[in-house]
A = this chain, B = another copy of it.
Amino acid sequence: MDILDYFTFEPVGARIDELETPVPIIDIDIVDRNLKRFQERCDKLGIANWPHIKTHKLVPLARYQVALGAKGITVQKLGEAEAMADGGIEDMLLTFNILGASKLKRLAALVRRVNMTVVADNPVVIHGLGEAGRDAGKDIGVLVECDTGARRNGAQTPAEAAALAKEIADTPGVVYKGLMTYPAPGTRLSTEAFLTEARDLIAKAGQETEIVSVGGSPDMWKDEGLDLATQYRAGTYVYFDRALIKAGACTFDDCALSVLTTIVSVPTPDRALIDAGSKALTMDLLGLEGYGVVHAMGDAPIYGLNEEHGYLDISKVDPKPAVGDLVRVTPNHVCPVSNLYDRVVFHRGDTVLGAVKVDARGAVQ
């Protein structure tokens, strides 16, 4: 099995220095290594790998992940699920409350053609999902989303989770399948305690918790608190990024995606301007200093962004870059970056393999 077999590239030039900028360039060998390494880990742990495609949004990579052993993929929005279903993916977990007549109709259509599991954290959502299941003529498997410390949404207590499991059991068109959480980084043990209590309460009511779904790239290599988990959802590990270097989940050498940019001006010895701004790198900081770094210049930081300009601190860079030089920026948070581009480019060393459409770009609905 070769990762290249999954791609049909559009030609965009043979060498990296022939590419127009700004453009995300992705080292296919690093991607391959990242995907295989985590699949092997899941296999070893006996946990089903359900990679989140929110980061790459690419059908070819989703299919390759499944070929490597993923039991299915995770998506956040219906539009992502539709793009992946169109690309031949057959098993998906959608980890977002679905609401509204129009979306429930789209969900029913998906349920009829692929294997969909969804989540819910409140009765309104459960009742809507029930309607969609009845519309589809097929019960929809539902996981109860739990807030185990991230303070986002989800059942706030194990008792609340158990009540929702019962609500699902009482609602025609849906079937209770288990528990799901996005554990805040560093909270695996308390998360497991929450989920164990919820599972036990649910068992007392005579319901079986078949799936316990956890996830997150920051803690992906940590072993603690995984005894209960049956599936793991990680997304960012496909490319990694500066935030995950800081979190200790990877090193720079694991970062597969950089944004290739051009130095368009060097107005002072301290400052260079690149042609990548917030529309090319996003304003995501994730607690970091700067909006990305140029690793080849000693991690010179992008200290400011306008929409199309990036401000590169070259005060410590020697020799100084020249107008026209290409520089690669390692982004802080890679997921929203790949979502900005209609196309991304894959390469192997200095050889450009070609561009591919970002299938689920902008699929926020």
Contacts and interface: CB of A to CB of B under 8 A. Distances in A.
Contacts of A275: 96-97, 99, 364
A170 interface: no
Contacts of A156: 267-268
Given A102-B20, A324-B99, A362-B340, A267 B147 contact: yes
Interface stretch (A28-36, A194-202, A246-254, A302-310): A302-310
Interface in A270-288: 271, 273, 275-276, 278-280, 282-285
A336 B279 contact: yes
A53 to B, nearest CB: 12
A264 B99 contact: yes
A152 B309 contact: yes
A21 B267 CA distance: 43
| Copies of the chain in the assembly | 2
Interface residues of A, number: 60
B21 A365 contact: yes
A125 B282 contact: no
A307 to B, nearest CB: 6
Interface in A130-159: 147, 151-156
11 contacts: A21-B100, A21-B365, A99-B275, A99-B323, A100-B262, A100-B324, A122-B265, A124-B323, A124-B324, A153-B265, A283-B285
Interface of A: 13, 18, 20-23, 54, 76-77, 96-97, 99-100, 102-103, 121-122, 124-125, 147, 151-156, 262, 264-268, 271, 273, 275-276, 278-280, 282-285, 306-309, 311, 322-324, 335-336, 339-342, 362, 364-365
Given A339-B340, A340-B362, 16 more contacts: A20-B365, A22-B364, A22-B365, A97-B323, A99-B264, A99-B323, A100-B324, A121-B265, A121-B267, A122-B266, A125-B323, A156-B268, A278-B284, A340-B340, A341-B364, A342-B362
